[in-house]
Amino acid sequence: MQLRRTVAGAGAGILTLFLLSVAFPGGEAAAAVKNPTHNITKILAEHPEFSTFNHYLSATHLAEEINHRQTITVCAVDNAAMGELLGKGLSIFSIKNVLALHVLLDYFGAKKLHQITNGTALAATMFQATGSAPGSTGFVNITDLKGGKVAFGPEDNSGDLGSSYVKSVKEIPYSLAVIQISKVLPSPEAEAPTPAPNQVNLTSVMSKQGCKVFADLLTESGAISTYEESAVGGLTVFCPLDEAVKTFLPKYKNLTSDGKASLLLYHATPVYESIDMLKSNNGLMNTLATDGAKKFDFTVQNDGEVVTLKTKVVTARITGTLIDQQPLAIFSINKVLQPKELFKAALAPTPAPAPAPEKEPADKKKTKKHKLSSPPAPEPFAPEGEPADQKADDTGSGGRLGVSVAVAVGVGMGALMALFSF
């Protein structure tokens, strides 16, 4: 019963989003990232007692997911409570699950918390929404106790409501509530060891499901290592089906090596987006190719169940899901995405002259979204004509393919060590 209610709440959020997007069509032009609704990092930064919680929301990329949600409650815990959680020595992926359990997919401001119908409710959470949570785990039981106290407990924890409401931190009715609760919600499921996402073999997932030509281009060019590095923190890939890539190959071969690399990196975004998130969060999306002034973005737009990706040149449609396992999602699309930075825009009826650059920018783009960059390697070992800008592949030695695994693992370890020296 209560479940249905919270789901209805989320539905209302989506409706709000829909209304907003109708009210401001095309108003997204200035946004660097797909119209975030909130900035949880900024909100929590005003409260030093939540600095550890805030740090981990960013480190796990949950902050981005929170920022894009329309109806959400974040149950923050103070630095002492986070210290206890960190003392358990969980991997960053398990910490992400635990924190995701603290993000309720409905609005629970202080007033609403104290007026829960029948005094108790189950709230869906971001942990449950990712599908990583088995059964009814991932729901949080909120119960009004005598004397105005409101208790919280994970549904899988046999009625232990050991954490309680402390105070309201920030409320934007009925969209975002940030409240403090006394303790981390204990959940064996959320804390369970989670396989690192970089153990998934990206190219083999693609190759087995109709995107082999694209996967081969990723491997050949070395762009795969940028994909693998990103997969540690969150990655969504839109891979064109074999037919589409084959048709496109002449144009691809015409690109400079820099252009090829940008085109391949253009097909992924460094955040996790489930199909539901794509459906409910239309707008501009940055890609792995986005680099300062070079926007390399496209617009996500859905029409009912159909999700399209629009560049100024082409409109592609999502045709299937190859894998959706937070923090990694790979979708197939029916066309190669052509960025306006590399290809002439389709003739539009508008009077805008928009002189598309005839040749690709040939300048170096060394900072191509290597999120955890390491010092620049000496000089590229690129054989003639091969992508010269893959030099950031972090190792002096050759053998790109084998090396890329080590890089991905190394980056993961580095991230963990950085986090735990915190």
Ligand X SMILES: *[C@@H]1O[C@H](CO)[C@@H](O)[C@H](O)[C@H]1NC(C)=O
Complex with ligand X: residue 141 or 326, whichever CB lies closer = 141
Cβ-based neighbours of 58, under 8 Å, separated by 6 or more: 41
Radius of gyration for the chain, computed over Cα atoms and rounded to the nearest angstrom: 23
Q: Find out whether 363 and 341 touch, Cβ atoms under 8 Å.
A: no
Placement of tokens 């369970």 in the chain: 192
User: Residue from 42, 111, 317, 364 that binds ligand X (CB under 6 A)?
Assistant: 42
Complex with ligand X: residue 36 or 410, whichever CB lies closer = 36
How many Cβ atoms from other residues are within 10 Å of residue 406's Cβ? 14
If one asks whether residue 30 binds ligand X (CB under 6 A), the answer comes out as: no
How many Cβ atoms from other residues are within 10 Å of residue 301's Cβ? 16
Counting residues that bind ligand X (by CB under 6 A) gives 25
Complex with ligand X: residue 115 or 350, whichever CB lies closer = 115
Q: Find out whether 165 and 181 touch, Cβ atoms under 8 Å.
A: yes
If one asks whether residue 397 binds ligand X (CB under 6 A), the answer comes out as: no
User: Residue from 21, 52, 203, 281 that binds ligand X (CB under 6 A)?
Assistant: 203
User: Residue from 136, 201, 247, 367 that binds ligand X (CB under 6 A)?
Assistant: 201
Rounded to 5 degrees, what are φ and ψ at 219? -70, -50
If one asks whether residue 350 binds ligand X (CB under 6 A), the answer comes out as: no
User: Residue from 79, 120, 194, 373 that binds ligand X (CB under 6 A)?
Assistant: 120
Please list the alpha-helical segments (H only) found in 222-294. 224-231, 242-254, 257-265, 275-280
User: Residue from 23, 89, 118, 348 that binds ligand X (CB under 6 A)?
Assistant: 118
Q: What is the DSSP string of 204-232?
A: HHHHTTT-HHHHHHHHHHSTHHHHHHHHT
Buried b (16+ CB within 10 A) or exposed e, 214-230: bbbbbbebbbbbbbbbb
- Alpha-carbon distance of 315 to 308, in angstroms, equals 7
User: Residue from 16, 41, 157, 301 that binds ligand X (CB under 6 A)?
Assistant: 41
Instruction: Enumerate the β-bridge partners of residue 167.
Output: 180
User: Residue from 12, 14, 33, 419 that binds ligand X (CB under 6 A)?
Assistant: 33
- Alpha-carbon distance of 270 to 272, in angstroms, equals 7
If one asks whether residue 237 binds ligand X (CB under 6 A), the answer comes out as: no
If one asks whether residue 410 binds ligand X (CB under 6 A), the answer comes out as: no
If one asks whether residue 254 binds ligand X (CB under 6 A), the answer comes out as: yes
In the complex, the smallest distance separating the C-beta of residue 253 from ligand X, rounded to whole angstroms, is 8
If one asks whether residue 211 binds ligand X (CB under 6 A), the answer comes out as: no
Amino acid at 294: K
User: Residue from 35, 73, 130, 141 that binds ligand X (CB under 6 A)?
Assistant: 141
Residue span binding ligand X (CB under 6 A) among the ranges 115-123, 164-172, 301-309, 324-332: 115-123
If one asks whether residue 121 binds ligand X (CB under 6 A), the answer comes out as: yes
Q: Find out whether 180 and 166 touch, Cβ atoms under 8 Å.
A: yes
If one asks whether residue 115 binds ligand X (CB under 6 A), the answer comes out as: no
From 134, 170, 135, 158, select the one nearest 47 (Cα to Cα).
170
Rounded to 5 degrees, what are φ and ψ at 95? -60, -40
If one asks whether residue 411 binds ligand X (CB under 6 A), the answer comes out as: no
Placement of tokens 């399209």 in the chain: 308
If one asks whether residue 16 binds ligand X (CB under 6 A), the answer comes out as: no
User: Residue from 405, 406, 409, 419 that binds ligand X (CB under 6 A)?
Assistant: 405
Residue span binding ligand X (CB under 6 A) among the ranges 31-39, 90-98, 300-308, 379-387: 31-39
In the complex, the smallest distance separating the C-beta of residue 355 from ligand X, rounded to whole angstroms, is 16
If one asks whether residue 375 binds ligand X (CB under 6 A), the answer comes out as: no
Residue span binding ligand X (CB under 6 A) among the ranges 34-42, 302-310, 315-323, 347-355: 34-42
The beta strands (E) that lie in 274-327 are given as: 283-285, 298-303, 306-310, 315-325
Complex with ligand X: residue 143 or 287, whichever CB lies closer = 143
Q: Contact residues for ligand X (CB under 6 A)?
A: 1-2, 33, 36, 39, 41-42, 45, 117-118, 120-122, 141, 143, 159, 161, 201, 203-204, 250-251, 254, 401, 405
